[in-house]
Structure 1
Amino acid sequence: MEKSKDKVKEPFSAYGSYSYADYLSWQMDEMVELIRGKVFRQAAAAPRRIHQEVSMVLSNTLYQFLKGKTCKVYVAPFDVRLPVSSRKHKDIDTVVQPDLCVVCDREKLDELGCVGAPDLIIEILSPGNNKKELQLKYEVYEASGVKEYWVIHPDERTLLIYTLEEGKYRSSRLYTMGDCINSQALAGFELDLDEVFGEL
């Protein structure tokens, strides 16, 4: 008997509002994120080469620095749940997959990823996702208490750091090649941007 060629209905609607419990029930090939209950699709295509190279340099540099320390670095895909009032799956309406994140409180880690704000989140911009990273994620990261949030623009070879101070983000100047930056969230960590962007 010939299989039905009917399209499989997506488990969510662009107009719906969903929780992490819903998210866990979806069986999909593509990655999605939830921001305040709304579904955002990840790019259908694989990340571009330049994105991957920046991610590899950063993850390796952070891994080497954190060896033997309490903090751990994770790379996407890795679910970060940002609860507001409850850690129950049905009550969490924001789950994101940052390109990289560092978690220093091991109590926030479980078999599904991280529940609660990482100490550091790094997002590497790709064509088409700038609004999500720069506006929507900025707002939830600030509200959730992410201590430090880096936004990297690989095409322009720039890095902007947002540091949480008294519940609000303070922006750094725009860093680029030739700069060496320090992290306030990870004491002693320095990053030479020539090493990040030099071979792109």
Structure 2
Amino acid sequence: MEKEELKNKVEEPTADYLSSEKADDLYTYADYLTWQMDEMVELIKGKIFKQAAAPRVNHQRISIKISSDLFVFLDGKNCEVFTSPFDVRLPIKSKKNEDIDTVVQPDICVVCDPEKIDELGCVGAPDLVIEILSPGNNKKELQNKYEVYEESGIKEYWVIHPNECTLIINTLINGKYQASRIFTHGDKVASQAVEGFVLDLVEVFDDMI
């Protein structure tokens, strides 16, 4: 597909991928591998979603702090932490490239099964995914990704709002996410998916209040 033609197919971050679309507007990971674009995109249930503009400063600060804490905590353990850009393929039917219609790039993810890692990224559900909201991508994170993360069996999905200095943990229970209370500056949060990991939100949000 030519670059200009592909750009016309890209959904804005606020677009609803469940809207009525023709079958020939749906794409797979096999298609994704052939694209050459100037901007990063994600594929959610066959629809192309444009990434928001470059992350803002607080977004980067939060990402670095949390990924650094996870890296130190996981040193010597089976789990690994990865940060965007890092392709996570979420197969539902099979792991064949032509059958995978969701490829996302979480801000931070932890994968504890080494067999899910290959040279292209992760194939299968990470144990923990952390998304940091950015202006213009909130609907994609809170609705579109929520649904595919839940369906694919990601054990925990953390959502961080930098401007409000809040964190919500969605924990998968019997196939459905259960949301925690809203955590904020002063709280310490523990992960069930990454046993033993505790994040101090004072350290995460201290530069932002």
Deviation at 1:103, TM superposition (A): 0.1
Structure 2 length as normaliser, TM-score?
Answer: 0.90
Partner Cα separation in structure 1 for residue 135 and residue 26 of structure 2: 26
The equivalent position to 1:21 in structure 2, one of 30, 34, 38, is 30
RMSD: 1.2
Report the 3-state secondary structure (helix = DSSP H, G, I; strand = E; otherwise coil) of the residue aligned with 2:6: coil
Moved over 3 A (4+): none
Unaligned runs of 5+ in 2: 11-20
> Partner amino acid for 2:43?
L
Report the 3-state secondary structure (helix = DSSP H, G, I; strand = E; otherwise coil) of the residue aligned with 2:33: helix
Contact 2:3–2:36 (Cα < 8 Å) also in 1: no
Deviation at 1:10, TM superposition (A): 2.8
Partner Cα separation in structure 2 for residue 20 and residue 187 of structure 1: 32
Structure 1 length as normaliser, TM-score?
Answer: 0.94
Report the 3-state secondary structure (helix = DSSP H, G, I; strand = E; otherwise coil) of the residue aligned with 1:91: coil
Structure-to-structure mapping, 1:56-135, within 5 angstroms: 56-135=64-143
Structure-to-structure mapping, 1:168-187, within 5 angstroms: 168-187=176-195
The percentage of aligned residue pairs carrying the same residue is 66
Larger Rg: 1
The number of residue pairs the alignment matches comes to: 193
Deviation at 1:9, TM superposition (A): 2.2
Change (3 A) 1:167 1:50: same
The equivalent position to 2:166 in structure 1, one of 142, 155, 158, is 158
Contact 2:3–2:37 (Cα < 8 Å) also in 1: no
Deviation at 1:29, TM superposition (A): 1.5
Cα shift readout 1:69-95 (whole Å, capped 9, x = no counterpart): 000000000000000111011110000
Report the 3-state secondary structure (helix = DSSP H, G, I; strand = E; otherwise coil) of the residue aligned with 1:54: helix
1:35 correspondence with 2:40:
no
Deviation at 1:46, TM superposition (A): 1.4
Partner Cα separation in structure 1 for residue 3 and residue 71 of structure 2: 41
Report the 3-state secondary structure (helix = DSSP H, G, I; strand = E; otherwise coil) of the residue aligned with 1:9: helix
Q: Which residue of 2 aligns with 1:167?
A: 175
Deviation at 1:8, TM superposition (A): 5.0
The equivalent position to 2:203 in structure 1, one of 168, 172, 195, is 195
Cα shift readout 1:7-50 (whole Å, capped 9, x = no counterpart): 9523362551100010110011100000000000012x311001
Partner Cα separation in structure 1 for residue 195 and residue 204 of structure 2: 20
